Amino acid sequence: MQLTFLGTSSMVPTKERNQTAVFLSYEGDGILFDCGEGTQRQLKIAGISLTKVNKILISHWHGDHVLGLPGLMQSLSASDYDKKLEIYGPTGTQKRIEKLFEAFVFDKRLDFSVSEVGNGLFFENSSYSLEAFQLEHGIETLGFRFIEKDKRKIIMGKIRKHGIPDGPLIGQLQQGHEIELKGQIIRPHDVSVEEKGKIIAYVTDTVLCDGCYKTAADADLLICEATYTSKLEDKSEEYGHMTAKQAGELANKANARKLVLIHFSARYKNTQEIEEDARNVFDNTICAKDFMKISL
């Protein structure tokens, strides 16, 4: 599981920071959180093939979060993309995607689906699930949760001790089933330990609200906007954003383990003041940079 921060600026990009986008690579899936202008170029610079993207989660339809979408979709349609691109977003996403194809000429049609999601679970497979919760930003806005399922880690020393051969029996134990070998019942906990799945939360472009806490609850990694410091709390509230201190308070109350700040106003030449503002209430905080990678 690896996160790559492709864009960490807010509405206006800077020389160092692109508009918002975060890429999660997990077991062959490539999940893109938002798709600001220039995202496909950021992917290339980061060494990530565009065709790795198979899910795009759109938080809301302000331009700095979606202006890279038509370019990315056009490039995928012109490539050897053999997947179905899944796009998830708030109410109105289907209509807005249709408008993209009215505004731009695509020489080759891309195979994709669009799902409008609300509160709660919207995707699940055997490895992970995805949830969304409504945020407050003046337009329909979503926070997203990636929830890895608990896994059993086989302890090979105990496997050998029980004389279990390589093959399907080990697979059955890993899936949580007991097996019988030479008249002996072997249970999963005899040869394995259960590892708790990781939770990644993504909260951007919102004031503090109930949906923030639902999205961030018990996250191993909380990615959260910090457009301004608390010195500009009035301005932050006026434009429907959070301060770095509020992001720290969210991480604290939601029992998050690590806070990564993104979506910085272009007024800040560096992020020291922003990071310190959050650290006053939540110490395990860092500010993201474009192309920063985190492995979990």
Three-class DSSP labels, 226-277: CCECHHHHHHHHHCCCCEHHHHHHHHHHCCCCCEEEECECCCCCCCHHHHHH
Structure tokens at 221: 């990694």
**d(Cα 10, Cα 196) in Å, to the nearest integer?**
33
Phi first, then psi: what are they for 7, rounded to 5°?
-150, 130
User: For 11-165, where are the E strands, in sequence order?
Assistant: 21-26, 29-33, 55-57, 85-89, 112-116, 120-124, 128-134, 142-148, 151-154
Q: Is 64 a catalytic residue?
A: yes
Phi first, then psi: what are they for 221, rounded to 5°?
-140, 120
**Catalytic, out of 29, 34, 64, 107:** 64
Q: Give strand pairing partners of 295.
A: 2
Task: Give the other-Cβ count within 10 Å of 161's Cβ.
Answer: 11
Kindly list the catalytic residues.
64
